[in-house]
Amino acid sequence: MHTTYKRSWAEPYKIKMVELLKMTTRPHRLKAIREAGFNTFLLRSEDVYIDLLTDSGTSAMSDRQWAGLLLGDEAYAGSRNFYRLEKTIQDCYGYRYVIPTHQGRGAENILSKILIKPGDIIPGNMYFTTTRLHQELAGGAFVDIIIDEAHDPLNEHPFKGNVDLNKLDQVIKTHGAAKIPYVAIATNVNMAGGQPISMANLRELRALTQKHGIRIIHDMTRVAENAWFIHEREPGYANKSIRSIVHEICSYTDGATMSAKKDALVNIGGFLAVNDWEVFEEARNLVVVYEGLHTYGGLAGRDMEAMAIGIEESLDNNHIRARVGQVEYLGHMMENYGIPIVKPIGGHGIFVDAKRFLPHLSQDEYPAQTLAAEIYLDSGVRTMERGVVSAGRKPNGENYYPKLELVRFTLPRRVYTQAHMDVIAESAAAVFARRNRIKGLKMVYEPKYLRFFQARFERL
Ligand code: PM9
């Protein structure tokens, strides 16, 4: 008789050095969150117990990456590490020309300045804060063409990052292809809850845009996580490597911006990669204005070495399985407590639906901002608002009111253990149990750009 035993994943690494965490008391946290204007971005990290603010620049580097730091060639021009990074990007992602930048938004700034003219329209599969701001600062306007399912936290569509091709067709008909410098495609759409785009959808998108001579620019910040979902969910990909799936995704696009602080497992870094020589030439010219010479783009040689090694490690099947597996583990625990989360569970964190968690608060009382502050107060776990505060204002000054009002429990890569996941879920459950007694917030200070970073609030 054959018995099939369960085979769990486990972290594909062991721990060689630890960083001690600080436990705090509730009175300490109350003082800290008040001083921070109820904005988790304004907390001091030493007042945080488990930090789920972001997966950006917070991952643990491997021993090989740390060793790579010692191989930094800190020449001003032509650093050996740049050539290694360039070759790694060409080999792993297939893009022809590479410009390093200090982080993702450095690449967004340069690309937007080159491709967008005032009055242009940039359709994309949901906005991202910094990306849309750079598009707007260059005189363009973002138009959302993601499928409707992406705006519904309960919808279990396996590829909520997909583009609605009819919506794109309509945008092209309304504005004309000449007004559309590119379609902006993010892999594993952050603001939708870490949701993937399918290869089939990308292929169809490629066919449609080619017909109109429109480029596709790829925000590949979390491309490996997207590849994992294709591997798991899309017919024909179960036996393919993450590396080959990532390469295929990139092959349907004309260029990419990357915040290497996420998938690529480094604490700082990014790049712009393109296939078009003219765009590259202009980017190589602009990078010296905003970032640094084109062979370092605001990075030290050692940072580029660590990034090249991180890119290779990020494409390992066992790594990505455990990474997404940990997110799923946390999500399932939260579901067991009845906490409303975005489904399906995404790649880089659990997105709690603040509208359903705190249904008695209107969006003008900032339910997600409130919930993030309450979670911190309960346990010292720091999360991030991804709702009306993050969405900011339109160029005409009106508020954007996004359908999704979420709190993101973002998991840094290779940093926390399964026991931490238990503690996090228990804290969310404790706040959920007393949700009816939670009051909202009012904004008392609002910066002009990307207000979620520095806005301040008071309790109502
Ligand atoms: N994302 C995040 O926490 C860090 C800053 S919050 C605005 O999710 C995408 C999809 C991102 C992203 C940053 C950037 C910008 C571009 N695209 O932060 O400049 O998730 O490296 O990248 C953050 P940089």
Backbone angles phi, psi at 184, to 5 degrees: -95, 115
pLDDT of res. 92: 98
- From the CA of 236, how far away is ligand 1's center (Å)? 31
CA distance 3 to 17: 39
Residue nearest to atom 14 of ligand 1 (CA): 104
370 carries an active-site annotation: no
Cβ distance 12 to 356 under 8 Å?
no
Residue 191: the pLDDT is: 93
Distance of alpha carbon 174 from the chain centroid: 30
Distance (angstroms) between ligand 1 centre and the Cα of 221 equals 8
Pairing of strands 215-219, 255-259: parallel
Q: Has 219 been annotated as catalytic?
A: yes
Nearest CA owner, ligand 1 atom 5: 56
Q: What is the pLDDT of residues 60-111, one digit of tens each?
A: 999 999 999 999 999 999 999 999 999 999 999 999 999 999 999 999 999 9
DSSP-derived letter for residue 268 is S
Residue with CA nearest ligand 1 atom 24: 104
**452 is annotated as an active-site residue:** yes
Instruction: Give ligand 1 pocket residues (Cβ under 6 A).
Output: 54, 56, 103-105, 128-131, 186, 190, 219, 221, 259, 261, 270
Which one, of 128, 134, 141, lies nearest residue 186 by Cα? 128
Residue in 40, 88, 101, 129 annotated catalytic:
129
Give helix 242-251 / helix 223-233 axis angle, nearest 10°. Answer: 110
Q: Are 376 and 38 in contact (CB under 8 A)?
A: no
- pLDDT value at 2 more than 90: no
- pLDDT tens per residue across span 313-338: 999 999 999 999 999 999 999 999 99
Query: Would you tell me how many other CB atoms lie within 10 Å of the CB of residue 22?
Result: 11
Q: What is the mean pLDDT of residues 125-132?
A: 96
Strand partners, 122: 142
Which pair of structure tokens corresponds to residue 453? 């970073």
386 is catalytic: yes
3-state secondary structure of 382: strand
Q: What is the pLDDT of residue 1?
A: 61
User: Cα of 225 to ligand 1 centre, how many Å?
Assistant: 15
Tell me the pLDDT tens digit for each residue of 277-293. 999 999 999 999 999 99
Residues 6 or more apart whose Cβ sits within 8 Å of residue 315 = 92, 224, 241, 242, 243, 246
Catalytic residue among 120, 164, 219, 353: 219
Distance of CA 25 to the CA centre of its chain: 31
* Encoded tokens for 62: 């491997």
Amino acid at 97: Y
Q: Which of 111, 190, 382, 411 to mutate to test the pocket of ligand 1 (most atoms within 8 A of CB)?
A: 190
- Of 195, 262, 351, the residue with max ligand 1 atoms within 8 A of its CB, to mutate for a pocket test, comes to 262
Whole-angstrom Cα distance, residue 118 to residue 135? 10
pLDDT above 70: residue 448: yes
Which residues contact residue 101 at a Cβ distance below 8 angstroms, ignoring those fewer than 6 apart?
Answer: 107, 110, 269, 270, 271, 272, 287, 291, 297, 298, 299
Domains and CATH numbers, the chain: 26-55+317-459 (3.90.1150.10), 64-314 (3.40.640.10)
Checking if the pLDDT of 4 tops 90, the result is no
Asked if 254 and 275 touch (Cβ cutoff 8 Å), the reply is yes
Check if 417 is active-site: no
Q: What's the one-letter identity of residue 26?
A: R
Classify burial at 63, counting beta carbons within 10 Å of its beta carbon; exposed 0-12, middle 13-18, buried 19 or more.
Answer: exposed
Amino acid at 207: A
Q: Which residue has the tokens 């008040």?
A: 34
Taking residues 187-191, report their average pLDDT: 96
pLDDT tens figures, 20-52: 999 999 999 999 999 999 999 999 999 999 999
Say which residue the tokens 């969006």 belong to.
363
Mean pLDDT score of the chain, rounded to an integer?
97
* Average pLDDT of the residues in 290-309: 98
Q: Tell how far the Cα of 437 is from the centroid of ligand 1, in angstroms.
A: 33
* 104-115 helix and 277-290 helix, angle to the nearest 10 degrees: 120
Active site residue 187: no
Q: What are phi and psi of 368, to 5 degrees?
A: -70, -40
Sole residue written with tokens 């297939």:
94
What atom in ligand 1 is closest to the CA of residue 261?
21
Q: Is 24 a catalytic residue?
A: no
Q: What average pLDDT score do residues 133-153 get?
A: 97
Cα(56) to ligand 1 centroid in Å equals 7
What is the model's pLDDT at position 3? Answer: 78
Q: Report DSSP letters for 417-455, one per residue.
A: -HHHHHHHHHHHHHHHHTGGG---EEEEE--SSSGGGT-
CA–centroid distance, residue 273 to ligand 1 (Å): 17
**What values do phi and psi take at 11, rounded to 5?**
-55, 130
Of 52, 58, 128, 271, the residue with max ligand 1 atoms within 8 A of its CB, to mutate for a pocket test, comes to: 128
Percentage of the chain lying above the pLDDT 90 cut: 97
Enter the tokens of residue 421.
């996941």
Q: Ligand 1 atom closest to Cα of 190?
A: 10
Q: Which two tokens stand for residue 309?
A: 């090694």
β pairing state of 270-274 and 349-353: unpaired
Give residue 7's pLDDT: 87
Q: Are 431 and 379 in contact (CB under 8 A)?
A: no
**What are the strands, taking DSSP E only, across 322-455?**
349-353, 381-382, 384-386, 406-410, 441-445
CA of 170 to the centre of ligand 1 (A): 29
d(CA 22, CA 407): 23
What average pLDDT does this structure show over 138-165? 97
pLDDT of residue 226: 98
In ligand 1, the atom with minimum distance to the C-alpha of 186 is 10
Q: What is the separation of C-alpha 190 from the centre of its chain, rounded to a whole number of angstroms? A: 4
pLDDT digits (tens, 9 = 90+) for 392-443: 999 899 999 999 999 999 999 999 999 999 999 999 999 999 999 999 999 9
Residue 196 and residue 224 in contact, taking contact as beta carbons nearer than 8 Å: no
